[in-house]
Amino acid sequence: MGEVRTKYVFDPYLALIVAVGQLVIGRGASWGQADTREPLDPYAYALLLAGPLAILLHRRFPLLTTAVALGACDLFLIGGYAYGPSFISPAVLLVLLVLRGRRLMAWFMAGMTLLSFLAYAWLVGNRDPLHSVWILTSIMLLMVVAELVRTVRERRAERERIAEEEARRQASEERLTMAQELHDVLAHNISLIHVQASTALHLIDANPEQARTALATIKTASKEVLGEMRSVLNVLREGAPRSPTAGLDRLDELIERSGLKVTLKRVGCRPLPSQVERAAYRIVQESLTNAGRYAPGSQVRVRLEYGERELTVQVTDSGAPTAAVLTDGDTAAAVPGSGNGIPGMRERASALGGTLVAGPTGAGFQVEARLPLPEETS
């Protein structure tokens, strides 16, 4: 609504500018042509004001107002008044017709303007072919300039529309990424809380110290998940999504909070793109979540191999020593990959052009992802 209102407010200003311009130029032209043309009188001033009035009503009556302005211009010339000022209104209205998308009407009225000017020239005895060519050239030049301006405006509007659509698309993709990150954080931390709470309940009487450690882990995990949720939700409310910051530099913290016996090995080292770091971190996080859920008490090995063309992420657990039964009656041992974790990890790898393979290995389970990397620049 604001844009439409702005466009309509423009018409009175344009009409006022044209009115002042025609009156000022008319006075000057009348003085300069006093020997050959009639001086301005109230009838001439009325004709000079008819064009600006037509501009004021042009949006509602485009054809009628253009014809009125052209008629006032012709009457001004026929009345013997000075050349020049009466041409402004018809020219402005022809340009407005083109810019407002009424091109056929604009070219029709340009033809009528040409005929009326040629007829007036013949009427007053000016039958010089060069004069007729000059009139034709002037009108054609005016219309060509109007068409060029229209084309430039349409292309600019199209670029702006494409840019807005691209910005909305990127914002939607970033929000989707944020939602996926939030899902991974929630799944990991809630699973960790569930396992540690079950452990604490099971050991609270027999081993209070170990139960205390489990409760401390629950406190840390719940604090982190609340912080992550608050951060993501604030970003989504503000409408300015930004990329999550999870990276491989936080692996030690992730392993410490997992409550599992994890061995981390890095082979090589090199800078990684942020999206690869984030995907590798989430793959390790989801793998540790699955290990804690389905194989509590197992030994877990995390291996990161930084190659020239790919990053290999391998997470292997030794399998649960026993199918431990939690205090709430749930069985900890289950079939890995029965939920959405592995498909989600595979989607992350595929989005980067990589692969992910997950399946049993001996008594345990292994996840291996290969994420392509750009060539290192020396």
The gap from C-alpha 141 to its chain's centroid, in whole angstroms, comes to: 39
Identity of the residue numbered 370: R
C-alpha–C-alpha distance, residues 285 and 341, integer Å? 10
User: pLDDT value at position 150?
Assistant: 93
Q: pLDDT for 246-258, tens place per residue? A: 678 888 888 887 7
Domain interval for residue 90: 2-127
SS3 per residue for 328-370: CCCECCCCCCCCCHHHHHHHHHHHCCCEEEEEEECCEEEEEEE
Query: 113: Cβ–Cβ under 8 A, 6 or more apart, which residues?
Result: 70, 90, 94, 139
User: pLDDT value at position 159?
Assistant: 92
The number of CA neighbours under 13 Å toward the Cβ of 54 is 28
More confident call, 216 vs 337: 216
Strand 299-306 relative to strand 261-267, pairing: parallel
**Residue 237 pLDDT class (50, 70, 90 cuts):** low
Q: pLDDT for 123-176, tens place per residue? A: 888 888 898 899 999 999 999 999 999 999 999 999 999 988 888 887 777 777
User: pLDDT value at position 219?
Assistant: 73
Give the sign of the dihedral formed by CA 370, CA 375, CA 377, CA 378: positive
Q: In the block, which residue shows the tokens 């020049």?
A: 84
More confident call, 35 vs 187: 35
Percent of the chain with pLDDT over 90: 34
Is there a contact between 313 and 356 (Cβ–Cβ < 8 Å)? no
**Residue 324 pLDDT class (50, 70, 90 cuts):** very low
User: pLDDT value at position 288?
Assistant: 87
**Residue 47 pLDDT class (50, 70, 90 cuts):** very high
How high is the mean pLDDT of the chain? 81
Instruction: With both helix axes pointing from N to C terminus, report the angle between 274-294 and 251-258 in degrees, rounded to the nearest 10.
Output: 10
CATH number at residue 281: 3.30.565.10
The gap from C-alpha 240 to its chain's centroid, in whole angstroms, comes to: 11
Domain assignment present for residue 307? The answer is yes
Q: In the block, which residue shows the tokens 């197992």?
A: 298
C-alpha–C-alpha distance, residues 371 and 301, integer Å? 19
Domain assignment present for residue 45? The answer is yes
- Answer whether residue 377 shows pLDDT above 90: no
- Answer whether residue 43 shows pLDDT above 90: yes
**Residue 334 pLDDT class (50, 70, 90 cuts):** very low
- Please give the model's pTM, rounded to 2 decimal places: 0.51
Among the candidates 73, 104, 127, a domain finishes at 127
- Answer whether residue 277 shows pLDDT above 60: yes
User: pLDDT value at position 10?
Assistant: 67
Among the candidates 95, 127, 159, a domain finishes at 127
User: pLDDT value at position 249?
Assistant: 85
Domains identified in the chain, total number? 2
Among the candidates 127, 142, 160, a domain finishes at 127
Domain assignment present for residue 202? The answer is no
